[in-house]
A and B are shown apart, each in its own frame.
Chain A
Amino acid sequence: MHTLPDPTASGDSRSDGPRSDGPGSDGLRSDGLRADAPETVLNPAPGNAPLVAMAPGTQMGSRSRLTAKESVFADGVFRSAVTFCAIALVASVGLIVYELIIQSHLSMSKFGFGFLTKQIWDPVGEDFGALPFIFGTLVSALVALILAVPLSIGTALFLTEICPRVIRPVLSMLVELLAAIPSVIYGLWGYFVLVPVLRLHVEPFLAKYMGWTGLFSGRMYGFGMLAAGTILAIMILPIIASITREVIMAVPRQQREAALALGATKWEMLRIAVLRNARPGILGAIILGMGRAFGETMAVTMLIGNRAEISKSLFAPGNTLASVIANEFTEAVGNTYLSALVEMALILFVLTLIVNGLAGLLVWSITRGTPRALA
């Protein structure tokens, strides 16, 4: 009982002090709160005086108030700094678009929309058309998808639904490592290992049994659309598999349980409950993989044979937007030639933009609301 009044009394006298001398003299303040004196000089706003008086632990109160004041400034600086980073990110995309348009202006004004539909590629006569390259880009990506989609959906299903817990991390790491191999090493391997195998074993086999389709005929070089599509398939497997896996995991557990409770076998459950629900997301994963395939450069450049022709046969050499840039850009002479190659890059950019936008929308429609699983 006796101890309680004591601190309150001292507290009262303290808080009374500043309150009383608020208007005029500061004798009491300066000797009681010497430590604060230099700081208050920095910040002499009179309007804040009552706040100091009301704070029970005056010393603490005033100090935190001052840091708060400074930190309003610091907060502003911090916010501006991270905003600057975000603006730099947006600006770099803006720069890509701007530079591509500026640098390809010459070619655009010279050839117009005919550039997209012409089959001519004549650096000497300075006449260019992008059709064989657009064709090559689309066809090589299509071949890659036909090979990669079943495999990657299978892998995703296996990892999420069938795989024993023990080997799951090992298998998913192996698939991840596939994504870490550089494009040029895929190219190297394709050049010396895949192409001979295709030429000596796979292509004769396909020509013998599937030659009637017209897709597998003509001279067998090994290099060509089929080689490029195969290597692309291996390269886009990990991305399709990992996104499909994410989408499949987003399907509610109750859906699976409901199917099983109705007596479905595991496969029927996967088909009815999982795959059907995840369909738009899986489509998004596939399209995203296609976007990757459009932009892959080195491995394709090394395997596709680099001939600017449209051919029905997958054995024939072709060319893609990315590979023609990689092959010819450093050696291109003449402004029109350079400009035409930049326009190819612009077409490639627009293609991937459309494809990725579409895919992003589809994946988002499935995974929204569920927290994204971290690798």
Chain B
Amino acid sequence: MTTQNIQWHRRLTNALALGVITFFALIVTVPLFLILGTVVKRGLPALNLAFLTQIPVPIGETGGGMANAIVGSLMLLAVASLIGIPLGIGSGVFLAEYGRNKYGNIVRFTADVLNGVPSIVIGMTAWALVVVTQGHFSMMAGSVALGIMMIPVIARTTEEVLLLVPQAIREAAFGLGIPKWRTTLSVVVPTAKAGIITSIMLAFARIAGETAPLMFTTLGNEFWSVNPNQPIAAMPLQIFKYATMPYDQAHAQAWTGALVLITIIMTIVIVFRLIASRGTLKGAS
């Protein structure tokens, strides 16, 4: 009798616990659908061609859009990539190929530290480095901040995927008399291409929506500007500005901006996913 009772009790606990775990896992997906749903519902009405092709108009006037902010964000991303991708991949190659020692451990630790530094602190560093030195806000300052944020993400992931490349492949190349640099560039890195592209995608997804490091570097701009040496408009900044204004028209613009921004980020993520998966297939066959 008693053992049966214990069994019954244990079975109930088991069912309850598993039920709670499943319930928690399902709850976690709720905010995602709530947020995406709201963004689509409130952003779609104001989405039109004008939004994508015109610059902002003063509150009260109809029309206007975020064309300058879209272009500005893409420029920020592009210049940040010029800083972040080479340094990130280079550091990753260093860690995987030359970093199995004390110096590698220092770099690895530093990369993890940099990865954990809040974006606003990196923004402040870019402010001190570029804005204070130059005496004015500029797109470049924002790109420096975003570029620095990309480095550790790409470096650590690149290292990981390079280490997954079998040692035998390297040895085969050495056996053919191919020097190390050539082996790394023509054999190891192409084999790990898919993983490296994924790391770049991760870095993009991380910085594309960043607002905090741009607030006192890139600053934002109501007008057309493609001059890297001047303040430039950026989507996250524009969304923040419209969201905190007390006008319905501004709020509508903020939601539409959020929709466009999320669409851009998701597109980047999905396109890179596709490229990466194709690369994997090529490497496997």
A binds B: yes
Chain A residues with CB under 8 Å of chain B are 64, 67-68, 71-72, 74-75, 77-79, 81-86, 88-90, 92-93, 95-96, 99-100, 102-103, 150-155, 157-159, 162-163, 171, 174-175, 177-189, 191-193, 234, 237, 241, 265-268, 270-271, 288, 291, 294-298, 302, 322, 325-326, 329-330, 342, 345, 348-349, 352-353, 355-357, 360, 372, 374-375
Q: Is the CB of A78 within 8 A of B212?
A: no
Q: Of all chain B residues, which has the CB nearest A103?
A: B128
CA–CA, A302 to B251, complex, Å?
A: 14
In the complex, which residues of chain B have a beta carbon less than 8 angstroms from the beta carbon of A185? 35, 39, 209, 239, 258, 261-262
Q: Is the CB of A348 within 8 A of B121?
A: yes
CA–CA, A266 to B122, complex, Å?
A: 46
In the complex, which residues of chain B have a beta carbon less than 8 angstroms from the beta carbon of A77? 181
**Which of A75, A155, A270, A345 has a CB less than 8 Å from the CB of B121?**
A345
In the complex, which residues of chain B have a beta carbon less than 8 angstroms from the beta carbon of A374? 160-161, 164, 195
Q: Is the CB of A75 within 8 A of B124?
A: no
CA–CA, A143 to B110, complex, Å?
A: 29
CB distance from B158 to the nearest CB of A (A): 10
The dominant DSSP class at the A interface is helix
Residue B94 at the chain A interface, CB threshold 8 Å: yes
**Shortest beta-carbon contacts, A-B, top 5:** A182-B209, A295-B118, A85-B90, A154-B24, A71-B179
Given A185-B39, A295-B120: A75 in contact with B180 (beta carbons within 8 A):
yes
**Residue from A180, A191, A193, A234 whose CB has the most chain B CB atoms within 10 Å:** A180
CA–CA, A154 to B148, complex, Å?
A: 34
Among the listed stretches B26-34, B45-53, B54-62, which one makes contact with chain A, having 4 or more residues with CB under 8 Å of it?
Answer: B26-34
Chain B residues with CB under 8 Å of chain A are 10-11, 13-14, 17-18, 20-25, 27-29, 31-32, 34-36, 38-39, 42, 86-91, 93-95, 97-99, 103, 106-107, 110-114, 116-122, 124-125, 128-129, 132, 148, 151-152, 155, 160-161, 164, 177, 179-182, 184-185, 195, 198, 205, 208-212, 215-216, 219, 236, 239-240, 243-244, 251, 254-255, 258, 261-262, 265-266, 269
In the complex, which residues of chain B have a beta carbon less than 8 angstroms from the beta carbon of A182? 208-211, 236, 261-262, 265
Q: Is the CB of B181 within 8 A of A74?
A: yes
Q: Is the CB of A89 within 8 A of B209?
A: no
CA–CA, A86 to B101, complex, Å?
A: 13
The dominant DSSP class at the B interface is helix
Q: Is the CB of B124 within 8 A of A352?
A: no
CA–CA, A189 to B31, complex, Å?
A: 10
**Residue from A82, A175, A187 whose CB has the most chain B CB atoms within 10 Å:** A82
**Residue from A159, A348, A355 whose CB has the most chain B CB atoms within 10 Å:** A348
**Residue from A182, A191, A326 whose CB has the most chain B CB atoms within 10 Å:** A182
CA–CA, A235 to B39, complex, Å?
A: 17
In the complex, which residues of chain A have a beta carbon less than 8 angstroms from the beta carbon of B239? 184-185, 188
In the complex, which residues of chain B have a beta carbon less than 8 angstroms from the beta carbon of A89? 87, 91, 107, 110-111, 114, 151-152, 155
CB distance from B181 to the nearest CB of A (A): 3
Given A89-B107, A265-B11, A349-B117: A180 in contact with B151 (beta carbons within 8 A):
no
Q: Is the CB of A188 within 8 A of B121?
A: no
CA–CA, A20 to B24, complex, Å?
A: 84
In the complex, which residues of chain A have a beta carbon less than 8 angstroms from the beta carbon of B91? 82, 85-86, 88-89
Q: Of all chain A residues, which has the CB nearest B195?
A: A374
In the complex, which residues of chain A have a beta carbon less than 8 angstroms from the beta carbon of B18? 162, 266-267
Q: Is the CB of A154 within 8 A of B114?
A: no
**Which of B32, B89, B180, B209 has a CB less than 8 Å from the CB of A184?**
B209
Q: Is the CB of B94 within 8 A of A183?
A: no
In the complex, which residues of chain A have a beta carbon less than 8 angstroms from the beta carbon of B38? 189, 192-193
**Residue from B98, B107, B125 whose CB has the most chain A CB atoms within 10 Å:** B125
Q: Of all chain A residues, which has the CB nearest B31?
A: A234
CB distance from A134 to the nearest CB of B (A): 14
In the complex, which residues of chain B have a beta carbon less than 8 angstroms from the beta carbon of A268? 10, 14
Q: Is the CB of B119 within 8 A of A82?
A: no
CB distance from B128 to the nearest CB of A (A): 4
Q: Of all chain B residues, which has the CB nearest A325?
A: B120
In the complex, which residues of chain B have a beta carbon less than 8 angstroms from the beta carbon of A100? 121, 124-125, 128
Q: Is the CB of A155 within 8 A of B28?
A: yes
Q: Is the CB of A163 within 8 A of B25?
A: yes
Given A89-B91, A183-B211: A79 in contact with B118 (beta carbons within 8 A):
no
CB distance from A362 to the nearest CB of B (A): 13
Given A93-B113, A188-B254, A295-B120: A152 in contact with B216 (beta carbons within 8 A):
no
Q: Is the CB of B94 within 8 A of A180?
A: no
Q: Is the CB of A155 within 8 A of B180?
A: no
Q: Of all chain B residues, which has the CB nearest A294?
A: B118
Q: Is the CB of A96 within 8 A of B125?
A: yes
CA–CA, A140 to B129, complex, Å?
A: 31
CA–CA, A175 to B38, complex, Å?
A: 18
**Residue from B88, B121, B255 whose CB has the most chain A CB atoms within 10 Å:** B121
Q: Of all chain B residues, which has the CB nearest A65?
A: B177
CA–CA, A89 to B106, complex, Å?
A: 11
Task: Name 14 extra pairs, CB < 8 A, besides A100-B121, A174-B28, A184-B236.
Answer: A67-B179, A71-B182, A82-B98, A93-B113, A151-B24, A154-B20, A182-B208, A184-B258, A188-B243, A265-B13, A297-B211, A329-B215, A353-B113, A353-B117
In the complex, which residues of chain A have a beta carbon less than 8 angstroms from the beta carbon of B13? 265, 267
Q: Is the CB of A189 within 8 A of B39?
A: yes
Given A95-B129, A297-B120, A356-B113: A178 in contact with B181 (beta carbons within 8 A):
no
In the complex, which residues of chain B have a beta carbon less than 8 angstroms from the beta carbon of A237? 28
